[in-house]
Chain A
Amino acid sequence: MSQFDLSKLPQGRKGFMHDWGSDQRAFKGVPWGKAMMWIFLLSDTFIFSCFLISLMTARASTTVEWPYPSEVFGLTVFGTSVPLLLIAIMTFVLITSSGTMAIAVKYGYEKNRKLCGWFLLATAIGGLTFVGMQAFEWSKLIFHDGVRPWGNPFGAEQFGAFFFMITGFHGTHVSIGVIFLFIFSRKVFRGDFDTGRRGYFTSMKSDYEAIEILGLYWHFVDLVWVFIFAFFYLW
């Protein structure tokens, strides 16, 4: 029996036809977990799309004026009001954490345990900072500006409702990601992926591909934020 050789497969359109016409795997050389994450993200995309499309319909059909985001989300720094300041910082932090995540994946594949762990930790802290700033943003809107899910002083009722729901749902995603980033950085530092230590719940071995899979999730959460940013804050 010959060994399966990934590099000998046909490429391009021919390769596509070959892979889908072949046995065993439709995505050649793709680990199960990675394929699973991609399909999950596709499903999750539909969730966020439903949220954002609902937001668009509410916004397009509102009879009351929609609040002006630049004003609502402005911060007053040294007496001057800067529109979207906090959101800009939040976005910057989140996108930067995507960068550190990518570096962690690289070091993971190089089996550079220490650096991989540190960059995972940096990513987790970036995510935590994001969630913290979001908590600050929420409390400012709720306690200072009087924005509520059922109404706000700026205009259409749905503004607050959609804001808390969509950013809350995204924030939950970020928080789950942060928890996993912490868990994974501990696993990396402990060397679980080198020694083949079995998982606490699943009792399965894992390897550095798991870092890439977590990375996929993290990049997705960041990408979704870009859309939320565009549709909620810039529109």
Chain B
Amino acid sequence: MNMDDEYNNKIETKAADSSSGSYAPPVEKIPAKENAEQDLYHAKSFWTKWVFCQDAKVIGVQYALTATAIGMIGLILSWGMRLQLGFPETFSFLGPATYYQSVTMHGMIMVIYLLTALFLGGFGNYLIPLMVGARDMVFPYVNMVSFWMFLVAVLVLLASFFVPGGPTGAGWTLYPPQAILPGTPGSEMGIVLMLVSLSLFVIGFTMGGLNYVITILQSRTRGMTLMRMPLTIWGIFTATILALLAFPALLVACIMMTLDNLLGTSFFMPEIFTMGEQLGTSGGSPILFQHLFWFFGHPEVYIVALPAFGIVSDLISVHARKNVFGYRMMVWAIVIIGALSFIVWAHHMYVSGMNPWFGFFFATTTLIIAVPTAIKVYNWVLTLWRGNIHLTIPMLFSLGFIVTFVNGGITGLFLGNVIIDVPLSDTYFVVAHFHMVMGIAPLMVVFGAIYHWYPLITGRHLNQTLGKIHFWITFVGAYAIYFPMHYLGFIGVPRRYFEMYDSPYMTSGVGLNQFITVAALIVGFTQILFLYNLFTSWYKGEKSERNPWKANSLEWHTSDFPPTHGNFGKELPVVYRWPYDFSVPGSDKEYIPQDVPSSQVPTAKAERT
């Protein structure tokens, strides 16, 4: 029935050809309003306007700034690791415990407190209401509490740096029993604070996540069908659903490990002898934790990746002045990747000792994910193909994303196969793979998105020269860091080792490690340059015109620029088309915003979407 409608629509639009002189523009049927005008809390004081703020845009910026701040700590921790690996026994402040704590905190901070919070809390909050044509999130108060919960989680995490024993050094996967046994750095207080912080994060995220989902499902403006939403929204939407279903497993694992640690239960603890004495635990299953953790952990990869997929599709389309190739295919690919991500988790556990048939099953499901993912890559390339590519900074970062993502995706195919994974498991090949696919690739999109939407948020452009320097050093530098790591993995260098000493395979590895360290330091300092750009451009940047990239989606077509509380003017916009009407054949306009009815662009030969 739906198919028929669509088909008739196409014919209808084609029939509405304006070649004859007496052309009557098609009458657009505007659907009736289903949502009552949203009752918003209007801030009266400085505190309720900028601090305890209920405006999703401010909350988004708060999320982004907090995530960036904690992310800088994650970056500095990575320098510590790299200094130790490149120049062992040189720096007195780096011992084995510090090294493991850096590894652990770097991993956890980057994956959860930076990327998840930035994509969903930051971009999600800022863009969802604007892009779907809503005044705000459906429950602004809950949304505000979500941010403060996140901030408390971050503060608890930071507190773990200052407790006796320091933060946990169990590796970001926090595998028990070692995470809570003496001998592991931070097994006293650090691990407890980590688990508490994660639990708070999950609770805070749930409050925000429910808002994102319901705003997208129930609070779109008139004319905004699901299939007219920008892919950014589709990516964030699907990722939020994944998060709402995956974080429970993390929460449960955190609760159980906290009890194991504080109450002496044996959920994950088998019988253990330590220092010749038996601990009072018995019968627990460490593998159970791994299952719970990776049931969260694998969807988490896509929680980070799917918003990146969505955002990059929009960036490519806008900056190549061409519609997204195969929009519906892109939507379904996002949804299918999201669904598949729940049945692949055990590919992180091939060496944990599972039934071989399990490996067979999970290898199969893992490799199936390559199909929708490849569709997406082809479609990005086909969107670019014969497009009017503007090499703006967002476009540079988008191109960088495609390259790094393909790179990391292909090594993922290696690791998805049991027989190839077993020898490569726990080597630097794995480190190279996941940094490429879920570190660098999403970060490329984050940067591209910031350069793209910064004018919307502040009304000013970021400095373009600094931006180009930032892109080239980050992009080339990322390859300088991670390409050699693939090789290190192939020659068998294990990950997470504090020092290699005189291992035979380290003869060729020593120089490489030094090279990687120098590259990492340079790339790291470039990010500080980026932050400098971010803060100075806020008040010194070149003033931006309205809609500087000539985009179609609603966030650029608000009554005020930059958008103010309530987002749109007196009336919410009505949407007549998808956001990708660039270079439409027959139209005299180069782009047609979503809220322009067909009657205003009578010559456009667009298929109705």
**Number of contact residues on A: which range applies?**
35 or more
**Number of contact residues on B: which range applies?**
35 or more
What separation, in Å, do the CA atoms of A226 and B226 have in the docked complex?
Answer: 37
A58 close to B225 (CB less than 8 A): no
A4 close to B267 (CB less than 8 A): no
B225 close to A22 (CB less than 8 A): yes
Which residues of chain B come closer than 8 Å to A80, judged between CB atoms?
Answer: none
What separation, in Å, do the CA atoms of A157 and B264 have in the docked complex?
Answer: 10
Q: Most chain-B CB neighbours within 10 Å: which of A30, A36, A63, A151?
A: A36
A43 close to B575 (CB less than 8 A): no
Q: Is A7 an interface residue (CB 8 A)?
A: no
What separation, in Å, do the CA atoms of A49 and B292 have in the docked complex?
Answer: 11
A26 close to B32 (CB less than 8 A): no
Q: Which residue of A is nearest B35, CB measured?
A: A24
Q: Is B232 an interface residue (CB 8 A)?
A: no
B282 close to A157 (CB less than 8 A): yes
Q: Is B39 an interface residue (CB 8 A)?
A: yes
- Fill in one digit per residue for A1-43: 1 if any B CB lies within 8 Å of its CB, else 0: 1111100000000100110111111111010110110011011
A42 close to B245 (CB less than 8 A): yes
- CB-contact partner of B285 in A18, A23, A57, A201, under 8 A: A57
A150 close to B292 (CB less than 8 A): no
B200 → chain A closest CB, angstroms = 15
Whether A63 touches B292, Cβ cut-off 8 Å, given contacts A36-B214, A204-B41, is no
- CB-contact partner of B244 in A14, A42, A51, A165, under 8 A: A42
B451 → chain A closest CB, angstroms = 31
Whether A17 touches B2, Cβ cut-off 8 Å, given contacts A47-B251, A150-B280, is yes
Q: Most chain-B CB neighbours within 10 Å: which of A17, A24, A202?
A: A24
What separation, in Å, do the CA atoms of A25 and B247 have in the docked complex?
Answer: 26
Q: How many interface contacts (CB-CB < 8 Å) are there between A and B?
A: 160
Q: Which residue of A is nearest B291, CB measured?
A: A57
Which residues of chain A come closer than 8 Å to B221, judged between CB atoms?
Answer: 23-24
- CB-contact partner of A4 in B2, B33, B264, B265, under 8 A: B33
A66 → chain B closest CB, angstroms = 10
What separation, in Å, do the CA atoms of A117 and B34 have in the docked complex?
Answer: 30
Q: Which residue of B is nearest A37, CB measured?
A: B210
Q: Is A135 an interface residue (CB 8 A)?
A: no
A40 close to B210 (CB less than 8 A): yes
What separation, in Å, do the CA atoms of A95 and B120 have in the docked complex?
Answer: 38
B259 close to A61 (CB less than 8 A): no
B1 close to A54 (CB less than 8 A): no
Whether A23 touches B225, Cβ cut-off 8 Å, given contacts A43-B248, A149-B259, is yes
Q: Is A235 an interface residue (CB 8 A)?
A: no
A93 → chain B closest CB, angstroms = 27
Q: Is B206 an interface residue (CB 8 A)?
A: yes
Which residues of chain B come closer than 8 Å to A202, judged between CB atoms?
Answer: 41, 139, 141
- CB-contact partner of A36 in B210, B226, B247, B288, under 8 A: B210
B266 close to A25 (CB less than 8 A): no
Interface residues of B in 120-158 (CB under 8 A from A): 138-139, 141
B115 → chain A closest CB, angstroms = 21
B223 close to A23 (CB less than 8 A): yes
Q: Which residue of A is nearest B282, CB measured?
A: A157
What separation, in Å, do the CA atoms of A161 and B259 have in the docked complex?
Answer: 9
The interface residues of chain A, by DSSP majority, are classed as helix
B248 close to A47 (CB less than 8 A): yes
Which residues of chain B come closer than 8 Å to A46, judged between CB atoms?
Answer: 245, 248-249
B34 close to A4 (CB less than 8 A): yes
A54 close to B31 (CB less than 8 A): no
A161 → chain B closest CB, angstroms = 4
Whether A150 touches B35, Cβ cut-off 8 Å, given contacts A14-B1, A23-B220, is no
- CB-contact partner of A54 in B227, B264, B292, under 8 A: B292
- Fill in one digit per residue for B266-277: 1 if any A CB lies within 8 Å of its CB, else 0: 110000000000
Q: Which residue of A is nearest B31, CB measured?
A: A23
- Fill in one digit per residue for A141-179: 1 if any B CB lies within 8 Å of its CB, else 0: 000000001110000111011100100010000000000
What separation, in Å, do the CA atoms of A34 and B433 have in the docked complex?
Answer: 42
Q: Is A88 an interface residue (CB 8 A)?
A: no
Q: Is B219 an interface residue (CB 8 A)?
A: yes
B244 close to A39 (CB less than 8 A): yes
Q: Which residue of A is nearest B138, CB measured?
A: A32
B32 close to A32 (CB less than 8 A): no
A130 → chain B closest CB, angstroms = 22
A150 close to B210 (CB less than 8 A): no
- CB-contact partner of A50 in B219, B228, B282, B292, under 8 A: B292
What separation, in Å, do the CA atoms of A202 and B143 have in the docked complex?
Answer: 11
Which residues of chain B come closer than 8 Å to A42, judged between CB atoms?
Answer: 244-245
A1 close to B249 (CB less than 8 A): no
Which residues of chain A come closer than 8 Å to B247, judged between CB atoms?
Answer: 43
Q: Which residue of A is nearest B29, CB measured?
A: A2
Q: Is B252 an interface residue (CB 8 A)?
A: yes
Q: Most chain-B CB neighbours within 10 Å: which of A42, A61, A157, A165?
A: A157
Which residues of chain B come closer than 8 Å to A47, judged between CB atoms?
Answer: 248, 251-252
B227 close to A21 (CB less than 8 A): yes
A205 close to B39 (CB less than 8 A): yes
A86 → chain B closest CB, angstroms = 24
A105 → chain B closest CB, angstroms = 21
Whether A27 touches B218, Cβ cut-off 8 Å, given contacts A40-B206, A44-B248, A205-B39, is yes
Which residues of chain A come closer than 8 Å to B284, judged between CB atoms?
Answer: 58, 157-158
B256 close to A54 (CB less than 8 A): yes
Which residues of chain B come closer than 8 Å to A1, judged between CB atoms?
Answer: 30, 32-33
B565 → chain A closest CB, angstroms = 15
B265 close to A150 (CB less than 8 A): yes
Q: Which residue of A is nearest B289, CB measured?
A: A54
What separation, in Å, do the CA atoms of A156 and B41 have in the docked complex?
Answer: 54
Which residues of chain A come closer than 8 Å to B280, judged between CB atoms?
Answer: 150-151
Q: Which residue of B is nearest A31, CB measured?
A: B218
What separation, in Å, do the CA atoms of A63 and B32 have in the docked complex?
Answer: 64
Which residues of chain B come closer than 8 Å to A156, judged between CB atoms?
Answer: 283
Q: Is A195 an interface residue (CB 8 A)?
A: no
What separation, in Å, do the CA atoms of A40 and B210 have in the docked complex?
Answer: 7
Q: Is B224 an interface residue (CB 8 A)?
A: yes
Which residues of chain B come closer than 8 Å to A26, judged between CB atoms?
Answer: 217-218, 226
A157 close to B41 (CB less than 8 A): no
What separation, in Å, do the CA atoms of A1 and B572 have in the docked complex?
Answer: 14
29 pairs, CB–CB < 8 Å, chain A vs chain B = A4-B32, A5-B32, A23-B31, A23-B222, A23-B224, A24-B221, A26-B226, A27-B218, A30-B218, A32-B139, A35-B218, A36-B213, A39-B210, A39-B213, A43-B206, A43-B247, A44-B248, A49-B248, A54-B252, A61-B285, A64-B282, A149-B265, A157-B265, A157-B281, A161-B259, A162-B267, A165-B256, A165-B259, A205-B39
**Chain A to chain B: the 10 pairs with minimum beta-carbon distance, closest first:** A4-B32, A46-B248, A161-B265, A50-B252, A150-B264, A47-B248, A202-B141, A32-B138, A43-B244, A24-B34
Question: Given A24-B35, A32-B139, list of 15 further CB < 8 A pairs?
Answer: A4-B32, A18-B1, A18-B2, A23-B228, A32-B214, A35-B214, A40-B210, A42-B245, A43-B206, A50-B249, A58-B285, A64-B283, A157-B265, A157-B266, A157-B283
